[in-house]
Copies of this chain bind each other. A is one copy, B any other.
Amino acid sequence: MKKLIACLNFLFVGMCLHAQEPVDYVDPFIGTTNFGTCNPGAVCPNGLMSVVPFNVMGSADNKYDKDARWWSTPYDYTNSYFTGLSHVNLSGVGCPELGSLLLMPTTGELDVDYHHYGSKYEKETASPGYYSLQLTKYNVKVEATSTLRTGLIRFTFPKGKSHILMNLGEGLTNESGAYLRRVNDREIEGMKLLGTFCYNPQAVFPIYFVMRINKAPQQTGYWKFQRKMNGIEAEWDQDNGKYKLYTQYDRDLAGDDIGAWFTFDTEDNEQIEVAVGVSFVSMENARQNLEVEQHGAGFDEIHASARKQWNDDLSRITVEGGTKAQKTVFYTALYHTLIHPNILQDVNGEYPAMETGETKTTKNNRYTVYSLWDTYRNLHQLMTLVYPERQIDMVRTMIDMYKEHGWLPKWELYGRETLTMEGDPSLPVIVDTWMKGLRDFDMETAYEAMRKSATLPGKDNLMRPDNDDYMSKGYVPLREQFDNSVSHALEYYIADYALYTLAKSLGKKADANLFYNRSMGYKHYYCKEFGTFRPILPDGTFYSPFDPLQGQNFEPSPGFHEGNSWNYTFYVPHDVKGLARLMGGQKKFVDKLQMVFDKGYYNPANEPDIAYPYLFSYFKGEEWRTQKTVRELLAKYFTPKPDGIPGNDDAGTMSAWAVFSMMGLYPDCPGVPEYTLTDPTFDRVTIRLNPEFYGKDQLVIEKKGNGSAEGYIQKIELGGKKTGYRIHHNDLVKAGTLTFYK
């Protein structure tokens, strides 16, 4: 009786408070088209596993096909042909990878060719830790949920002959090759090759899996696409150039394009659950992950747990005021910042060491998917403020990577350094974390690692291959047309400035001096003629002919990576005032920056210029421009719609920009523990601080006064004391309140 009451109570609370919990504001469909590359799949916070609808292959009805263009997400909202649920995926990333272990239900005659077995769908729904749709071709309901390292899928079949297919031949990854073997009638285990991220041919790694079905099938088997034979021989092999069905073989299978099928006689509305455990260490670990995390629980229990984990995490920030749409945007953005980096280690603590793949054991969480050229800008700063226990493990992980591989990460993916994008982004992340008081990590080794990439000659330097030029000249000259030399150097300046502040605080005066001087080298690139940065040739002269607009829309541009000179010219966050002086003073700086926005030179869809709106606030009297610009950008580019992220979410970086901006503060200089303030979206934001790190258990940001939404901040108080538009992290968390008066 007590149980029943508790249950009714739960239902009641569930119904009444439904729209009031943070988790309910999340709309996982936001960012799932317009190249946001987010997906609506089921995932837990920072979970290794995500179970995502795969709808980017097999049909001309799809607008986007993974093989027809550069394509980096398993799902696009505007597509319509579902070919399974993919297990372990990237969110908001711009290169094709992962998105494999495709699990598909079908009915009727067995067909293992995804060109045929895919289906249109309806009744698509998603919430944190849950995804569902109804396949119109088969009248099968598909539901997915997950734990940290496992997926649980529930299919509701109609009466008749039903099949469950596990396709190991396809996926978003461009690497192929898989191995599987039958454990028993209801369980298979195997391995699939992943990798070639951003078409890097050597960044290859294996994923191991176990798949377990909660009902014994009537029949099972494998398939493998048979290589095309030629000539006479082709006539004898009935499966030549086709998907061969293995009906009488059930031992080990390997090949480029293989899969397993399970056939059932189902009753109407019969539900069958499929559990998938993964590991990047071994099949044994995949099984252990499955057994420990699902421990025989059913779909509803696992789903409730995933939802609770999300609500607990999202509840670290409570917002009041603002529209429902704004809350949806905010909590969905926060949700997107809690997907990567994700944990890598198995329940037993084992993980594949960086680059070697050697099995190692960790006590703290081992993270992976470090898209650092993106996330060093704001995502790690968000973690430091709101989820410091995670950020410190992320830093520990980075230092462990150095211990294993000799290098801090640049773009790490499941133990492989993909060397995507440029710079030395681990440095500002580690320094930023340290300077904000999170210090329980091996700084001695971290300093060694940072100094190594800052000082090693180019030929031996994985992070800074052009370090010889940089160290000797103070800049990187353009040696090849599209060598991104200016972008490289701008990143090194920021990294070196971070290293300077750290060296200074550690009393390493010589280092501090060295790195400070280097960090000011950006001035070499300033060209008075154009008022912008401009590539420099090896002979020291500027590159000609020069067009500061060349490089828009991700076109190639000499010296600049994924952008043009305008997207980079203000990117000296560590010396904004110095840059202003170089440009002729505050007014010229502000006017030029305003022009960037007015003329549409600002690219909201990529990282180099995303801190631009905050630069106005470095100058007294100009802070309103920050507030106005941020407000406009939020309204225009961050909406509660599938296209509501301006471009690749970049592993949560765009979303972190929105989260900070909507709370009224932004860490515009990575490595410098400060925030620039702006008009928050909400009346009141309460951040539950982790007292273990910050002493206090909450930080309240609130708006007071009667100013209109369009109005500007009149006064700011930190802990009741007036403050300016840039505040130190330590002051903020110590104060506990940040009050904006409008």
> A residues touching B (Cβ–Cβ < 8 Å)?
67-70, 174, 176-179, 191-193, 195-196, 199, 201-202, 204-206, 224, 226-227, 229-233, 236-239, 244, 246-258, 352, 355, 357
**A231 vs B67: C-alpha distance when bound (angstroms):** 8
On whether the beta carbons of B176 and A226 are closer than 8 Å, the reply is: yes
Closest to A352 in B: B251
- Determine how close the nearest CB of chain B comes to the CB of A575; give it in whole angstroms: 38
Contact for A179 among B70, B179, B249, B257, CB less than 8 A: B179
Contact for A246 among B67, B204, B250, B255, CB less than 8 A: B204
On whether the beta carbons of A177 and B258 are closer than 8 Å, the reply is: yes
* Residues of B contacting A192 in the complex (Cβ-Cβ under 8 angstroms): 254
20 extra interchain contacts, Cβ-Cβ under 8 A, other than A68-B232, A193-B252, A251-B357? A67-B231, A67-B233, A69-B232, A70-B236, A174-B233, A174-B237, A176-B255, A177-B255, A179-B191, A191-B252, A191-B254, A199-B237, A202-B246, A202-B249, A205-B251, A227-B256, A227-B257, A250-B357, A254-B254, A256-B257
* Residues of B contacting A250 in the complex (Cβ-Cβ under 8 angstroms): 357
Contact for A69 among B193, B226, B233, B255, CB less than 8 A: B233
30 contacts between A and B (CB under 8 A): A67-B231, A69-B231, A70-B232, A70-B233, A70-B236, A174-B237, A176-B226, A176-B255, A177-B254, A177-B255, A177-B256, A177-B258, A179-B179, A179-B254, A191-B254, A193-B252, A193-B254, A196-B237, A199-B238, A201-B244, A202-B246, A202-B247, A202-B248, A202-B249, A204-B246, A204-B249, A206-B251, A251-B352, A254-B254, A255-B256
- Determine how close the nearest CB of chain B comes to the CB of A101; give it in whole angstroms: 14
* Residues of B contacting A255 in the complex (Cβ-Cβ under 8 angstroms): 176-177, 193, 254-256
* Residues of B contacting A67 in the complex (Cβ-Cβ under 8 angstroms): 229-231, 233
Given A199-B238, A238-B199, A244-B201, is A177 in contact with B68 using a C-beta cutoff of 8 Å?
no
* Residues of B contacting A196 in the complex (Cβ-Cβ under 8 angstroms): 237
Given A231-B67, A254-B178, is A236 in contact with B204 using a C-beta cutoff of 8 Å?
no
- Determine how close the nearest CB of chain B comes to the CB of A191; give it in whole angstroms: 5
On whether the beta carbons of B231 and A199 are closer than 8 Å, the reply is: no
Main secondary structure of the interface of A (DSSP, over half): loop
Count of chain copies: 2
**A70 vs B224: C-alpha distance when bound (angstroms):** 23
- Determine how close the nearest CB of chain B comes to the CB of A564; give it in whole angstroms: 23
**A238 vs B174: C-alpha distance when bound (angstroms):** 12
Given A201-B239, A244-B201, is A176 in contact with B249 using a C-beta cutoff of 8 Å?
no
On whether the beta carbons of A252 and B179 are closer than 8 Å, the reply is: yes
- Determine how close the nearest CB of chain B comes to the CB of A633; give it in whole angstroms: 32
* Residues of B contacting A69 in the complex (Cβ-Cβ under 8 angstroms): 231-233
* Residues of B contacting A174 in the complex (Cβ-Cβ under 8 angstroms): 229, 233, 237
Given A176-B226, A204-B249, A251-B205, is A236 in contact with B199 using a C-beta cutoff of 8 Å?
yes
* Residues of B contacting A252 in the complex (Cβ-Cβ under 8 angstroms): 179, 191, 193, 206
Closest to A240 in B: B174
- Determine how close the nearest CB of chain B comes to the CB of A247; give it in whole angstroms: 6
- Determine how close the nearest CB of chain B comes to the CB of A68; give it in whole angstroms: 6
On whether the beta carbons of B233 and A176 are closer than 8 Å, the reply is: no
Closest to A249 in B: B204
* Residues of B contacting A237 in the complex (Cβ-Cβ under 8 angstroms): 174, 196, 199, 201
